[in-house]
Amino acid sequence: MGGVRLVSCREFLELFLDDWLEGALPARRWRQCDRHLDLCVACAESAAAYRTTVRMLRRLGRTAGSEPLPEEMTRAILARSRTS
């Protein structure tokens, strides 16, 4: 096997989700994540929930620029979407 390697759920949620939302991933990585989201409903739902929250917070002006979400908030979102 060579070339494209699929990202795991853990990699996507912990390593790539922020950059994926920002559109900051390299093209190859972006395609890996898109493919993962096509195949994995759980991550697609987590990504949607996360994106909604990020937008809401930005609108409230709590996160300036590219400042990341507090880690505990990220965990809460992901934990909730995993169990629902």
Q: Contact between 43 and Zn ion (CB under 5 A)?
A: yes
Toward Zn ion, which CB reaches closer, 52 or 58? 52
DSSP 8-state assignment for residue 12: I
Other C-beta atoms lying within 10 Å of the C-beta of residue 3: 5
Q: Spell out the residues 6+ positions from residue 28 whose beta carbon is closer than 8 angstroms to its own.
A: 4
CB closer to Zn ion, 66 vs 84: 84
Using rule CB under 5 A, residue 40 touches Zn ion: yes
Is the separation of the CB atoms in 12 and 33 below 8 Å?
yes
Site string for Zn ion, 45-84 (x = CB under 5 A): ----------------------------------------
Integer CA distances (angstroms), 70 to 28, 74, 77, in order: 28, 6, 11
Q: Is 15 a residue that touches Zn ion (CB under 5 A)?
A: no
Query: Which residues of the shown chain bind Zn ion in the complex (CB under 5 A)?
Result: 9, 40, 43
